[in-house]
Structure 1
Amino acid sequence: MLHYTTYQLDPEAPWVTFVHGAGGSSAIWFRQIRDFKKSFNVLLVDLRGHGKSKNHVYQKLKRYSFDVIGDEVIEVLDHLKVKNSHFVGISLGTIIIREITERHPDRVSSMILAGAIMKLNIRGQILMRLGILLKSVIPYLLLYKLFAFIIMPKKNHKASRSLFVQEAKKLYQKEFIRWFTLASKVNPLLAFFRIKETPIPTLYVMGEEDYMFLPSIAKLVKNHSSAKLEVVPACGHVVNVEKPEAFNQIALNFLKE
């Protein structure tokens, strides 16, 4: 089973489950814990191969799929006897949460998807193709640093880049390749998500400077009545790290509605 950490306020309090992105770990949520645990039971998970789940024993897979990754998150909820939860995700973690809602809608009370990925623009598609060509040739950390800089290029994105690179250092080369391969084949799934609206209340929290992903989210929200969008000014892809106070206020207001 995945490594997890809980902060339990009260047995009757609602749960909020945090899901990080590829190359990160539950450590990226450290600026959210204090505010969220005042009103909710909090669950942090480290995805397969990430953070403290890296040394856990679970079934070895040559290739990963989003349904397998999602089921491992659900396994933690089952273990804790959590019937349903609000979910908060960042970057690739938003795809995992969205996939969970398709197969386990009864387990998801609402979704907060930050730095959400619902479509790869031309630059993103070129980046993925470049990564496919280079993933077995150059050290994964160098490739990850390149990706982090392209997605988060500005000076005020430096803290986010540094945090994700620090967490990515804990991955093994083979683990990185498995996750990168998973991400490189995500387009059909994202196309499905853009077409099919979920009735589950959804809040997208995007940085104003998240140029690769914000345009597609703005377009999606116009067509999905259950979705809302909050744009954080002067902020890049990793909203919860760059602007934690704004992110926490926006997210908690949504959850308490």
Structure 2
Amino acid sequence: MIHYKTYIRGEDCEWVTFVHGAGGSSSIWYKQLKAYKENFNVLLVDMRGHGKSKNISGKLFKTYTFDDVSRDIIEVLDHVKITSTHFVGISLGTIIVQIISEQAPERMRSMVLAGAVTHMNVRSRVLITLGNMVKHFIPYMWLYRLFAWVIMPSKRHKESRSLFIREAKKLCQKEFKRWFKLTKGINRFLGTLFDKEPPIPTLFIMGDEDHMFLPFVQMRVKKRQFAQLSLVADCGHVVNVDQPEEFNRISIGFIQKQSTIAQGMYVWNPA
């Protein structure tokens, strides 16, 4: 089983499960943990090959698919006996959360998808093609640094960029290649995934400077019945790090209102 950690506020409190992105770990939520622990029970997971799950991945997981990674998290829910939970995902973690909404919709109360990846633009596809061509010949950190600079180019994104690079250093070359294989045919996969909308309240939180992914999220949200978009100013791809207080305010407010929204008594407005 992958590594996880729980923070329990009380038996009557709802659960929130955090899912990090590729190359990161549960430590990227350090700016959310205090605020969330005051309101919810919290489950943090390290996906296979990442964080403290790195030590067990080589022994148990030989091949990686998005479905496999998602089932890892469902196994943790079963082990901890969490019947239903809200999910908060960042970057690639938003793909995993979406897959869980298909695999086990009854376990999901709502979704907060931050820095969501719904489509790869031309620039990112060129980078992926280049990465697949040279991944066996050059150190993976060269590729990861390049990706980090392209996705988070601004001076304002320096902390997020540095955090992701620092976390990625904890991976090994073999783990990086296993995860990189998931990028093959990624747009076709994402198109199929996001064309189906489960009836689950969903909030996309995007930075207004997330030039690589924001335009596609805006198009997706317009076609969805159960989704809404909140834009955070002066913010790049990693919203929870660039603007943590605003991210916490918006996401916690959204999650807290779900039971009332379901009863048709409240219309949530993040402004």
Matched, 1:165 2:165: yes
TM-score by length of 2: 0.92
Alpha-carbon distance between aligned partners in 1 of 2:197 and 2:227, rounded to the nearest angstrom: 9
Deviations 1:24-45 (A, max 9, x none): 0000000001001111000000
- Is contact 2:49-2:57 (8 Å) kept? no
| Counterpart residue identity of residue 131, structure 1 | G
| 1:104 corresponds to | 104
| 1:226 corresponds to | 226
- Is contact 1:63-1:182 (8 Å) kept? no
| Counterpart residue identity of residue 60, structure 2 | K
| 2:251 corresponds to | 251
| 2:260 corresponds to | none
Identity level (%): 55
Alpha-carbon distance between aligned partners in 2 of 1:182 and 1:163, rounded to the nearest angstrom: 22
Aligned length: 257
- Is contact 1:35-1:248 (8 Å) kept? yes
Deviations 1:71-94 (A, max 9, x none): 100111111000010000000000
Alpha-carbon distance between aligned partners in 2 of 1:184 and 1:248, rounded to the nearest angstrom: 33
| 2:182 corresponds to | 182
| 2:126 corresponds to | 126
User: What pairs with 1:79-94 in structure 2 (closer than 5 Å)?
Assistant: 79-94=79-94
| Secondary structure of 2:78 counterpart | helix
Shift of 1:151: 0.5
Alpha-carbon distance between aligned partners in 2 of 1:58 and 1:212, rounded to the nearest angstrom: 32
| Secondary structure of 2:219 counterpart | helix
TM-score by length of 1: 0.97
| Counterpart residue identity of residue 19, structure 1 | V
Report which stretch shifted further, 122-131 or 145-154.
122-131
- Is contact 1:85-1:109 (8 Å) kept? yes
| 1:140 corresponds to | 140
| Counterpart residue identity of residue 41, structure 1 | N
Deviations 1:140-169 (A, max 9, x none): 011100000000001111100100111111
Alpha-carbon distance between aligned partners in 2 of 1:93 and 1:225, rounded to the nearest angstrom: 22
Alpha-carbon distance between aligned partners in 1 of 2:20 and 2:111, rounded to the nearest angstrom: 14
Matched, 1:239 2:243: no
Shift of 1:5: 1.0
Alpha-carbon distance between aligned partners in 1 of 2:184 and 2:27, rounded to the nearest angstrom: 25
- Is contact 2:48-2:57 (8 Å) kept? no
Report which stretch shifted further, 183-192 or 113-122.
183-192
Shift of 1:194: 2.9
| 1:150 corresponds to | 150
| Secondary structure of 1:113 counterpart | strand
Alpha-carbon distance between aligned partners in 1 of 2:147 and 2:184, rounded to the nearest angstrom: 13
- Is contact 2:49-2:58 (8 Å) kept? no
Alpha-carbon distance between aligned partners in 2 of 1:256 and 1:194, rounded to the nearest angstrom: 25
**Alignment RMSD:** 1.1
Q: 4+ residue runs of structure 1 moved beyond 3 angstroms?
A: 57-62
- Is contact 1:152-1:161 (8 Å) kept? yes
Relative to structure 1, the CA distance from residue 84 to residue 3 in structure 2 (aligned partners, 3 Å threshold; closer, same or farther) is same
